[in-house]
A = this chain, B = another copy of it.
Amino acid sequence: MGSSDHRTTARILDILETIASVQDGVSLSDLSRSLAIPKSSLHPLLCTLAERRYLHYLQREERYYLGENVFVLGNKYVNNHDILEQIKDVMQQVNQSTGETLYFGVLSKRDVLYLAKADLHSQFRVVSNPGNKLPAYSTGYGKALLSQFMPDQIHSLYPEGDLKPLTPQTVRNVEQLNVQLEGIRATGFAYEKGESTTGIQCVAVAIKVEGQVLAGMSIAVPEFRYTKEREEQFKTLLDDARAQIQRIIAGNRSQWIYSGEYNR
């Protein structure tokens, strides 16, 4: 449990994350500069990562790119267990009866990690793909997930107090956020009104099993299709789907590996 920092391990992760964050590859010297690691130290690490296909080195460009095996490894995170497939089935039923997109995700520190979606019957192109992270306070299901925390916990999660906004609609400070979270705890529903993407509104719920909030789910709707009447329909469907998913998770508790935080 000790928080011993192993430099080499941290470096390898830094390397992979740096290369992942850039579209057009990174050269050895680029990496050396941006991570403040000598080229001579970097070199053997990169060679081994490339040999194992976690990186590709394009000689003609003198640049490193991610290799296939990060994709292979990353997919093992979701493919080893079929619980997510069952959850997606439930989401697809709601998607089918509403025509709107469903999102499902978990908390990763202060971010919300988007694990799955259902948008087979939706009219719009995908906005985002699984594997992406967003600040929890900026999304509907992020706020549903945060609603498990009391004001003081939220304060210690965001010691700065200010929240970086993604759109003009995003909550800007912890006090406002806490007011919203109180409302979510009272009603069981979280709302997002263009706070992560302008023009998109969401209704969201928290997935709770044995008193622990494990995940969040939202339905995302373009503003111009969002009415009070439909909102009631979304809430009914979401609440029903929530119950089904909670039963699925409760029945496969050991398969739930998607949020380490709460089952230590």
Residues of A bordering B, CB below 8 Å? 1-6, 8-10, 12-13, 16-17, 20-21, 23-25, 43-45, 47-49, 51-54, 56-60, 65-81, 85, 106, 108-109, 113, 115, 120, 126, 129-133, 254, 257-258, 260, 263-264
Contact = CB atoms under 8 A, between A and B. Distances in A.
Contact of A48 (B4, B23, B115): B4
Given A80-B20, A80-B23, A71 B12 contact: no
12 contacts: A1-B59, A13-B69, A53-B109, A60-B263, A65-B260, A66-B257, A71-B77, A71-B113, A72-B108, A74-B131, A75-B129, A85-B126
A167 to B, nearest CB: 21
Nearest to A264: B59
The 4 closest A-B pairs by CB, nearest first: A74-B74, A75-B131, A56-B260, A20-B76
B72 A113 contact: yes
Nearest to A49: B9
Contacts of A3: 47, 51
A57 to B, nearest CB: 7
Contacts of A80: 20, 23, 66
B257 A56 contact: yes
A155 to B, nearest CB: 23
